[in-house]
Amino acid sequence: MKLLVIIPAYNEEDAILATVQGLQRECPEADCIVINDCSKDGTRDILRANGIPYLDLPLNLGIGGGVQTGYRYAVEHGYDVTVQFDGDGQHRAEYIRDLVKPIVDGEADMVVGSRFVAQDGQGFQSSAMRRVGINFLSRLIQLCTGKHVLDATSGFRACGQALTREFAESYAQDYPEPEAIVTALVKGYRVKEIPVLMNERQGGVSSIRALKSVYYMIKVSLAVLLAGIRLTGRKEAARHE
Amino acid sequence: MSNRLQILLIIVVAVVVVTAVRMIHRKKLNLGYSLLWLALAVVMVLAVLFPELVYALARVVGIDIPLNMVLTAFALFSLVMMFYLTCIVSRENERSRAMTQQLALLEKRVRELEKKQ
């Protein structure tokens, strides 16, 4: 099985080396590709100096366009499973095998590493405000798809070959994580959540800043609703044909 | 419609047409995108030559003052144009994103080929 870990990175010079080294130590069987999203700091120099495979985007595309580049790379090189893994040290590489296993076993098409499935009080969960937002999104997704996804904003996820192709072809932009889950669910893919612990960020700035969070919620909610409506409509149409 | 308004409209039409044609010549405006503007010019010329058309339309829509009819039409045209523009911007965004991604994928191949040599 060929496994690719896609690591989107924007201005992650503080964390990227430790992230990749941790990944190679914990999960040596996986290939990794860092997507340098036009970083303004020394991220690319670090990647080059350490011989880390990377794709260098000449324009800043944001997380969606960056990750999609990774999916396109995976399709080009015939990978069986792709894992999305943050470049800021938030995600823990020791969970990658757990994330990949349901896909290899044929139990799921997408596996999301969720901060909320296991509540043993360990590790970094999330701030109260953010949890309110994530709960709201979770309800919205249930409304659109009938499925329960607890941690829709988690960027730690694995996809099988079919979904990788799907995402290489078209992937949500801006704040893509919840929308991608809705797209997968509505198209009939099986999405599974497994419990993971996450670290506090090692460096960099979260792409969701406090001032932007209201804008984020409006935009993501709209995106989830539209993805739900559009795709459900299409499915209905196909059924009537 | 007053003579003054007619003269004003004719001047506007002249400016629109001359500007559009000049920009097309200089390759700063695509012929396709100029069509809406030229269509506007044609409609305005018709309105000036046959003001009865404007009066009739105003009656149909239920607007008492023909000038208001003209202003409403301008407002609608502006809305259509803006919507059209946001559609174009979105499409160009999609295209530049796809191209950026392709460029990054190719750059990695070139980098690896150069290293092998």
* Mean pLDDT value of segment A168-186: 89
- From chain A, the residues in CB contact with B101 under 8 A are 57, 61, 65, 68-69, 72
Distance in angstroms (rounded) separating the CA atoms of residues A52 and A34: 8
Residue percentage of chain A with pLDDT more than 70: 86
Q: Pull the structure tokens for residue B66.
A: 């023909």
Query: Which of A53, A54, A68 is opposite residue B101, by nearest beta carbon?
Result: A68
Distance in angstroms (rounded) separating the CA atoms of residues A202 and A14: 7
By residue range, what is the domain housing residue A114?
Answer: 3-240
* Mean pLDDT value of segment A3-15: 94
User: Any chain B CB within 8 A of the CB of A61?
Assistant: yes
CA distances (Å), origin A144, targets A132, A138, A194, A237, B74: 19, 10, 22, 17, 40
Contact: A55, B108; criterion CB under 8 Å: yes
Q: Using one digit for the tens of pLDDT, what is the confidence trace for B11-61?
A: 988 998 999 999 989 988 888 888 888 888 898 888 888 888 888 888 998
- From chain B, the residues in CB contact with A76 under 8 A are 105
What confidence tier does B2 reach under pLDDT thresholds 50, 70, 90? confident
The CATH number that applies at residue A60 is: 3.90.550.10
Name the B residues in 94-113 with CB < 8 Å from any A CB. Answer: 96-97, 100-101, 103-105, 107-108
Q: How many domains does chain A have?
A: 1
Q: Using one digit for the tens of pLDDT, what is the confidence trace for A119-142?
A: 554 444 566 777 788 888 888 888
Distance in angstroms (rounded) separating the CA atoms of residues A36 and B61: 57
Q: Which of A33, A35, A38, A56 to mutate to test the interface with B (most CBs of B within 10 A)?
A: A56
User: Any chain B CB within 8 A of the CB of A69?
Assistant: yes
- From chain A, the residues in CB contact with B97 under 8 A are 61, 65, 173
Q: How far is A96 from chain B (nearest CA, A)?
A: 25
Q: Using one digit for the tens of pLDDT, what is the confidence trace for B65-110?
A: 888 888 898 899 999 999 999 999 999 999 999 999 999 999 999 9
Contact: B107, A69; criterion CB under 8 Å: no
What confidence tier does A241 reach under pLDDT thresholds 50, 70, 90? very low
Contact status, residue A84 vs residue A67, Cβ threshold 8 Å: yes
* Three-state SS letters, B24-76: HHCCCCCHHHHHHHHHHHHHHHHHHHCHHHHHHHHHHHCCCCHHHHHHHHHHH
